[in-house]
Amino acid sequence: MDQKGSAVQTIIRMKGHPVKAIINSEASVSIITLPIVKQLRLQMSLANSSSIVIVDQAKKKVIGFIRGAPFIIADVRVLVDLIIIDAPRAALLVGTDWLRRYLVDLLFSKKRLILESKGQKLSIPIEYD
């Protein structure tokens, strides 16, 4: 969240479709909600009976996992492991697991997200209010 409390977001592509991703450096894992999984017909592995505490401190049941889900960012394919939760609205939250893996820097002064993949630095726009 930025200093005004709005979410930092960027657009990624999954299976050829643009998806708004929330960048959250306070989340230790990356999460996707069931509506996006169904819409994009993503393959998931079923979960055990574990649960996760989400942003509003509500406990949500983990219904599945997607290991190595491909994102397309700046025409480069990067992978992310996603935890799937059932929630009424479509949401994709990218957590510190992914941010650390790709050495991500958020440049608020330039409204850019910089990441490194295969020795290449990529820059994509971010938005926030």
Residue 14 token pair: 């999954």
Burial of 87 (0-12, 13-18, 19+ CB in 10 A): middle
Q: Decide: pTM greater than 0.95.
A: no
1 found inside a domain: no
Question: What is residue 45's DSSP assignment?
Answer: E
- Predicted local distance difference test score (pLDDT) of residue 25: 87
Residue 72 token pair: 């397309």
Residue 124 token pair: 């994509």
Per-residue burial over 25-50, b if 16 or more Cβ lie within 10 Å, else e, is: eebebbbbbbebbeeeebebeebeee
Stretches where the chain sits below pLDDT 70 are: 1-5, 48-58, 129
- Predicted local distance difference test score (pLDDT) of residue 1: 38
The per-residue pLDDT for range 99-126, each reduced to its tens digit, is 999 999 999 999 999 999 888 899 999 9
How many domains does the chain divide into? 1
- Predicted local distance difference test score (pLDDT) of residue 120: 87
102 found inside a domain: yes
Report the CATH number at residue 26.
Answer: 2.40.70.10
95 found inside a domain: yes
Cα separation of 25 and 104, whole Å? 10
2 found inside a domain: no
Q: Give the structural domain span for 117.
A: 8-125
56 found inside a domain: yes
- Predicted local distance difference test score (pLDDT) of residue 2: 37
3 found inside a domain: no
Residue 80 token pair: 């992310």
Residue 108 CB neighbours (<10 A): 11
